[in-house]
Amino acid sequence: MKNRRIEVNIGKTVNFGDFESIKISIGLSEDIQDKDNLDESFDKICEEVGHKLADYCEQLEKEHSNKNKRIKSK
């Protein structure tokens, strides 16, 4: 049996307002065997990457929001 590789890359631009934004890209690749179902393996990797990207973007937005609160309160 030969191995196959699935690679998924996704990105998101997070807009913080006031002309501030950041583009986040994340990717993951995994070797799968011929016997593995391609659709199931692809869905699994997409889900993992999607969750990681969403978690990271949420953390960035919280940090930016907290930073703005500190600046406004001064």
- Which pLDDT tens digit goes with each residue over 2-61? 778 999 999 999 888 888 888 999 999 999 988 899 999 999 999 999 999 999 999 988
Strand ranges for the chain from DSSP E = 3-17, 20-33
Place 72 in a pLDDT band, splitting at 50, 70 and 90: low
Count of structural domains within the chain = 1
Distance between CA atoms of 27 and 10, rounded to whole angstroms?
Answer: 6
> What is the per-residue pLDDT for 18?
80
For the entire predicted model, the pTM comes to: 0.73
Q: Are 46 and 7 in contact (CB under 8 A)?
A: no
Range of the domain at 65: 3-73
pLDDT at 1 over 60: no
